[in-house]
Structure 1
Amino acid sequence: MKEVLDAYGYWPYENRPKITWPGGARVAFWVAPNIEYYELDPPQNPQRKPWPTPHPSVPGFSIRDYGNRVGHQRQMALLDKFGVRGSISLSVALCEHHPEIIEMCRERDWEFFSHGIYNTRYTYGMSEAQEREMIRDSIETIHRHTGQACAGYLAPALSHSERTLDLFAEVGQEMFGERAGLYTCDLFHDDQPTPIQLRSGRRFVSVPYSLEMNDTIVYAVNKVEPRHYLKMLKRHFDRLYAEGAESGTVMCIPTHNYQISCPHRIKAFEEALEYITGHSDVWVATGREIASHYLEQHYDQALADIAGRAGGTQHHADRG
């Protein structure tokens, strides 16, 4: 995807302008619960099968239904316990299917950002007009059900196109001005926020969202045991915390309520939250708060540093 790669260039981690977080924190820590809705028998996409088994996939659907019926309550109680407001990567169809979940999150002032409409309907094969309409629908649905202007985007099932970043920023700005369309979670290329170049020239940022710490990757793909996942989370935090003494870093734990919240796994997550939030110089934030702080305090300095390293000219290609 040449156009996506043109959205940012090579910018070495070492000797970047210093990032400072509120309160002098070393690490900006956020939890991104993916609260998703999967269709039992979704429409077919020629580029990707929604279920690895024949349709209807009752086991696949029902474990995700378990997440919304049981797992969400269990995870929410833990986040409440440690004072963490979730930043929800939301399949926005959930607003109609399970409005009670949306209301519980609203009561806690959690952030809602778009993860598409269903996690069984992909961006692959869409025209630009179709993808724009999907993004517009998701932003409008979030606002109608929560009152929030959607700031962030993670493509449904990570099925982004070469136009996704541009379209999300454009549609967000058209609908809600500078309150919406501020950041992406679809790039997994850094441990700090980074400026992203769009065809519109709008200010836009990538906020770190870790696939390595994502519970679905850990449990379903890499087959890691819960006690080892706890060790991974602690080691991940310890490194970012050490480096954050020089310049602020970001740690994200992306979760799924049908993974992290199973009875045999939840204790590992609880101990990780206790460990991370037990450090006083950690900013427990939301994705929007991290993006907004960076855009206001560090974005311009970052662009100047990038341009300086490129010999005084912007490193990005012209994407107009």
Structure 2
Amino acid sequence: MNYDFIPISQRKPLRWPNGKRLAIILTTNFEYWDAVRDTPKPYYPGGPSIVGGDLPGNVYDNANYTWREYGQRVGVWRMFDIFDAEGVPSSCTINAKMALERPQVVQAALDRKWEIVAHNYVQTELLTDNMFDEDAERDVIRSTLKVYEEFCGFKAKGWLSSSLRSTLNTIDILAEEGLIYICDLLNDDQPYMVQTRSGKPMVSVSYTSEVNDFSFLRQGLGAEGGLQMFKEQFDWLYAESAHTGKFMNIGLHPHVIGQPYRIRALRDFIRYAKQFEDVWFATREEIATWYMQNHESHIETGRA
């Protein structure tokens, strides 16, 4: 993995297409967890647990499994209703097993022509499990991309690793497999180019672990507190974007934001942001494709 360190103060102003100044990415994570794994080691389910304490992988954790499944059965459909009513798209990440085990959810996003981002084979499997075995990591990525293409009918363009746990080889493998953007690098409010060993282009379009509905859990936020977090992020970035374009990502999980007492934060934020005509509700692929063609006007290639 190789990218130049160019502080934002040393970049040229970024100008989004059509006069837009702030891009908003509403990321909904469609994630599938196996109920058990054949291991006595603690089972890493991804994200905070609603009931604390680690159980071995071969012991069924009913509370946490069914809490997360609430998002698939109920919460995500509440989110779909809001996105439909407000007329905005979501950028949806999917585990391969989500397509295999919960196809109704993924198909609903496809029917809406929303962006689908590859997100590992299953949420409980981390690419870092294969940190020292590149061939095994490539097999996981290829298996994920195969299911993606078979279900979606087109090839994936972008990738988000489960729990953001990628390796030093991940970006190079993704480029060699034909993908054009990665979400794992949490270090920017703007896209930038990542160098790859094959020379194939790769754009970083950062996800966020900060402006994320998991913050509702970590900080004990209700709808009003969560809405304030979203608006604070938006207002500051919007002010900065008068000089140079920025993007704002919100990470969403149907079992968290899809709860009735939290969902209003999402709806009210969307309504707030829609009041600004120069805000762009974008997909990552739109951002990555545009940036590959325009990055020289922002950050000169090879500058370090």
Q: Which residue identity lines up with residue 300 of structure 2 in the other structure?
A: A
Query: Displacement, 1:277?
Result: 1.9
Q: Which residue identity lines up with residue 188 of structure 1 in the other structure?
A: L
- Secondary structure, counterpart of 1:188 in structure 2: coil
Match of 2:35 in 1: 40
1:83-122 equivalences in 2 (<5 Å) = 83-122=87-126
Query: Displacement, 1:208?
Result: 2.4
The runs of at least 4 consecutive aligned structure 1 residues that moved more than 6 Å come to: none
Which shifted more, 52-61 or 253-262? 52-61
Match of 1:178 in 2: none
Checking the alignment, whether the CA contact within 8 Å between 2:43 and 2:54 is kept in structure 1 is no
Q: Does 1:66 align with 2:70?
A: yes
- Residue 232 of structure 2, aligned match among 204, 225, 235: 235
Q: Does 1:301 align with 2:297?
A: yes
- Secondary structure, counterpart of 2:24 in structure 1: strand
**5+ residue gaps in structure 2?**
46-52
Query: Displacement, 1:163?
Result: 0.7
Q: C-alpha offsets along residues 107-141 of structure 1, whole Å, 9 cap, x if unaligned?
A: 10011111101111122231111110111111121
Distance 1:267 1:248 in 2: 28
Q: Which residue identity lines up with residue 300 of structure 1 in the other structure?
A: E
Match of 2:202 in 1: 204
Distance 2:277 2:38 in 1: 48
Distance 2:218 2:39 in 1: 23
Q: Which residue identity lines up with residue 62 of structure 1 in the other structure?
A: T
Distance 1:44 1:150 in 2: 31
Checking the alignment, whether the CA contact within 8 Å between 1:88 and 1:110 is kept in structure 2 is yes
Query: Displacement, 1:211?
Result: 1.3
Match of 2:44 in 1: 50
- Give me the identity figure in percent: 30
Match of 1:318 in 2: none
Checking the alignment, whether the CA contact within 8 Å between 1:208 and 1:251 is kept in structure 2 is no
- Residue 82 of structure 2, aligned match among 78, 88, 94: 78
1:91-170 equivalences in 2 (<5 Å) = 91-126=95-130, 127-170=133-176
Query: Displacement, 1:257?
Result: 0.3
- Secondary structure, counterpart of 2:28 in structure 1: strand
Query: Displacement, 1:85?
Result: 1.5
Match of 1:310 in 2: none
- Secondary structure, counterpart of 2:29 in structure 1: strand
Query: Displacement, 1:305?
Result: 6.4
Match of 1:177 in 2: none
Change (3 A) 1:160 1:45: farther
Match of 2:50 in 1: none
Query: Displacement, 1:74?
Result: 0.3
Change (3 A) 1:306 1:190: farther
Distance 1:81 1:286 in 2: 19
- Residue 31 of structure 1, aligned match among 12, 22, 26: 26
Q: C-alpha offsets along residues 39-65 of structure 1, whole Å, 9 cap, x if unaligned?
A: 11124496x632543221111110111
Checking the alignment, whether the CA contact within 8 Å between 1:43 and 1:121 is kept in structure 2 is no
- Secondary structure, counterpart of 2:60 in structure 1: coil
Distance 2:222 2:100 in 1: 35
Distance 2:266 2:89 in 1: 15
Distance 1:12 1:150 in 2: 30
Match of 1:14 in 2: 9
Distance 2:185 2:205 in 1: 8
Match of 1:311 in 2: none
Q: TM-score, normalised by structure 2?
A: 0.91
Q: Which residue identity lines up with residue 233 of structure 1 in the other structure?
A: F
Distance 2:37 2:218 in 1: 23
Q: Does 1:219 align with 2:216?
A: yes
Which shifted more, 18-27 or 246-255? 18-27
Q: Which residue identity lines up with residue 304 of structure 1 in the other structure?
A: E
Q: Which residue identity lines up with residue 212 of structure 1 in the other structure?
A: E
